[in-house]
Structure 1
Amino acid sequence: MLLQIKKTGDKTYRIDGNPYFIAGLVCFIITFLLGLIGTKGLDKAFVYAAGITILVTPIVYVLDQVGKKKHRKIISSKLFQHLLAIGFEVEEQKDYTGLIGERNQTAFRIYYDWNKLSKGFFSFGDIVIVGYFEPLVNNFEKGTINEELLNSLNSKYKETFWTSKKILSRFAPAFFLRHLNYYPFTNTDAVIADLDKITDLIKESGLTPISKKALLERQKEFGYNYAPPIDTFGLEQVD
């Protein structure tokens, strides 16, 4: 399917479909509108938008393929090999490759995301840490969330996520998400320290961490609601 809008269990919507079609469509719309403003003619604006889209789409494709290759191959990096040595395991799901494990009675997923959300000089990808807890969702089927508590937690810790504003960290209904700038020299001890801090933060927030076993059981029942927030994981939304 080229384009589809899906509703997730936390009452948010995500766009699903062919990423190159979506990128091309967005590029075409933006350049068409800019061309329309600049040229004040539909024909010229259309030609301008089509030309730019034809040039940009292959670039998006190449960058995406390079990112996906890095996503798979990072398992062999020193950082991920050290994490495997302390008990994490390789997890593969469709086009997704990452690590899954448990530390301090908290289930974690760790993976590389080439679509950066954190800001770092000469960092071209993020190491993403996902720490799971008993969800702030009263009923996944009905999509009822304790939105007041969720917003309160994100507001409370917005300025105190033990990091600069350049690093993305936030609570979601079923997990805590943290994006770290990735460099070839990223220190394993720093990542492990973040795992411990995330567990402490979950407990300090009055939430209950869940084990790896519980995570996998919940995922079978609730599907995408417990999947890591990356499209390559390929797990369907459970209605």
Structure 2
Amino acid sequence: MSTPPSPALHFSLRQWSAWAPGLESREAWLAWDGTLPAGDSAPKVAAMPAMLRRRADRLGKMTLETLYADDIAYQGQPLIHASRHGEAARTVPLLQSLAAEGKVSPQAFSMAVHNATAGLFTIATQTHTPVSAIAAGNETALAGLVEACSQLADGAPSVLLCFSDEPLPTLYQRYADAPEAPFSLVLNLVAGHGFSLVAGAAGGRDATPLELLHFLLGNGAVLPLAMRGGWQLVRHTA
């Protein structure tokens, strides 16, 4: 049996859910080869009351679909929503309106902030769970895991870690520094020693949330997570 290094942040994966165009079932994800999904479709989010559901754009609907998944069976645990770009599709029109008219729609602004979708979910489920919103550039996967592991180490019995993103709007696409795809995924993490986050390795790279999911669903031993600090995710097996 391999033993995780004692100073590492560690966790076990209890359950997961994911949604992307063309990858709309658990079986599709389990057979997924890691190719980036593409498409314009959006989930129906049938589990959410229509009055709240209609406030969500595609990114929000993808996020909500994975949070409502039967496999997750949400029980009010702390929620972390990590998204590199957030509601960029809403933000661009707001900025254009601000530049042209000097004002923006309060309702449109309220759904453009980074924690809007997570807040919508807690309203719909009538829970008072702590919510954290994270955006950390190309280190968003690492930042989400560090936050989740820290909450587990602080005593949370389980944490929901949600990643979601979609390609940047046309206006900003020339600034994209990595291939992008529409997706959402939720990891139900618990205290345990299934995986460890360790720092200090040489030759790392910045992994995306989709690469993180592909690693978790596979059987690889190590996933380089971030160049800065040499962070890696290590799998521990019996």
TM-score, reference length from structure 1: 0.26
- Where relative contact order (Cα < 8 A, 6+ residues apart) is larger, the structure is 2
Larger Rg: 1
Which protein has the bigger helix share? 1
